[in-house]
Amino acid sequence: MTEWKQKTIAEHTLALERGEYSSLELTHAYLARIREQEPLVHAFLLVDEEGALRLATESDERRREGKLRSPLDGIPFAVKDNFCTAGLRTSCASRLLEAFVPTYDAAVVERLKQAGAIPLGKLNMDEFAMGSANEYSAFGAASNPCATDHVPGGSSGGSAAAVAAGEVPFSLGSDTGGSIRQPAAFCGVVGLKPTYGAVSRYGLVEFASSLDCVGLVTHTAADCATLFSVLLGRDERDGSSVAFAGSREDSFGTPLRVAVVKEFLESDAVSPAVKRATEDAVRALTAMGAQIQTVSLPSPQQALATYCVLSAVEASSNLARFDGIRYGASVGETETLSALYSQNRGGYLGREVIARILFGTCLLSRGNRERYLVRAEHFRSQIRRALLDILASCDLILTPTAPTTAYRKGAKLTPLQRREADLCAVYANLAGLPALSLPMGRDEEGLPVGIQLMGAPFSEFSLLKVAQCLEERRSL
């Protein structure tokens, strides 16, 4: 299996068909790679070696009998630790859920297992998905495989790092405000956030219900399209899921019409290396025959503030159930019920999660609701209208994925600087639009740079085809 860890899903599928190796051999190889890389990367919180080898053996048996379930049959993967997995701990990287073992699989895990894919384990993340660096995991930070003294991004840092390190060929993550795309950019892999509702969130421990999407991390856009076609669609168990309105045959017309956001090319928050990569993408698209126009978006700082308000409010509500009584760890008996809540949550939740819960609760208090929440909802509507107006005359919107490349672990960043990691990404979540991050070169230190392609609802396959064309030009 020469250079197996660098192979894509498509390459593994072809190799398995040709009998170059079995699923069991492939799974053994990835498990060995995990053991080799984890002291450096710490992308995994749990590895289910026994379960993975059993499923790989079953896949090989299906192959011998000619009963393969899909092109993914026999391909290993891993999932972020906020997806429920039957019989495997789901901790959300929190001490509060350190002993929580679900009795069922999340819908996306269920679909992948039905397709014959093999889950290897659970991936590191910021606690309850709250963070942009994977430094808020209760079980230790993950590292960027491209430079292990740098962060992998967050909150799906483990999902991006595992793929970039060659520990799995693909992974699942969740995206609330760039939580898949930003780490994908930092680690030099492809990350997709689908249209809101296109993929079921059943079994996902949510951070902010109106923003969260289940997404994918892969080596290539083609792999992303293969995975997305398996996961998309209506799920009766998730009331927000919808029947997908697109098709894998979809593509944008000719010539391709691309909108470039001037605020990000002019912003001081965006590093020179990221601006150069965005300009390189514009030149590549122009060489492909695309028509480029410059557009303006509603204020990035206002969009970021809107995201911070809405996500904190929803986090306050969603995490109320984790009180150590119905779910999670408990300190034991206390004199009052109020003291029990306080000590359970205060003792087992991290400081970042507590801060966001308190902020969201404050925003929901009398007076603040009208002053902040109502205004944030109004501005969210303006953002969606503005984006849809642009996409009525353009096929896609091109921006940087993140304002900078990966920064060093332990960097003394202000809260605003940490929030600005999501500056370019939050628009897609606020408007419910599909967006993907694609590697586009490296900075002076050799760190990956990502660009973002954002489209109209259900344009995922069209976006992925453009991304494939850019990948091909980059490889020339």
Q: Which of 132, 143, 174, 179 is catalytic?
A: 179
The average pLDDT across 76-105 equals: 97
- Asked about 7 being catalytic, the answer comes back as no
- Asked about 262 being catalytic, the answer comes back as no
The average pLDDT across 56-85 equals: 97
- Asked about 80 being catalytic, the answer comes back as yes
Lowest mean pLDDT among 11-20, 50-59, 322-331, 420-429: 322-331
pLDDT tens for 320-338 read: 989 888 778 888 878 888 8
Long-range contacts of 11-18 (CB under 8 A, 24+ apart): 12/74, 12/75, 12/169, 13/71, 13/72, 13/75, 16/63, 16/74, 16/75
pLDDT tens for 129-173 read: 999 999 999 999 999 999 999 999 999 999 999 999 999 999 999
- What local confidence, expressed as pLDDT, does residue 475 receive? 67
The average pLDDT across 71-76 equals: 97
The average pLDDT across 71-93 equals: 98
Q: Which of 94, 155, 459, 462 is catalytic?
A: 155
- Nearest Cα neighbor of 307 from 425, 463, 473, 386 is 425
Q: Which of 7, 80, 193, 465 is catalytic?
A: 80
Indicate if the pLDDT at residue 2 is higher than 50. no
pLDDT tens for 372-423 read: 999 999 999 999 999 999 999 999 999 999 999 999 999 888 777 888 889 9
Q: Supply the pTM of this predicted model.
A: 0.96
- What local confidence, expressed as pLDDT, does residue 473 receive? 86
Q: Which domains does the chain have, with CATH numbers?
A: 4-231 (3.90.1300.10), 257-303+375-466 (3.90.1300.10), 317-369 (no CATH)
- What local confidence, expressed as pLDDT, does residue 1 receive? 46
Q: Across the chain, what does the average pLDDT equal?
A: 95
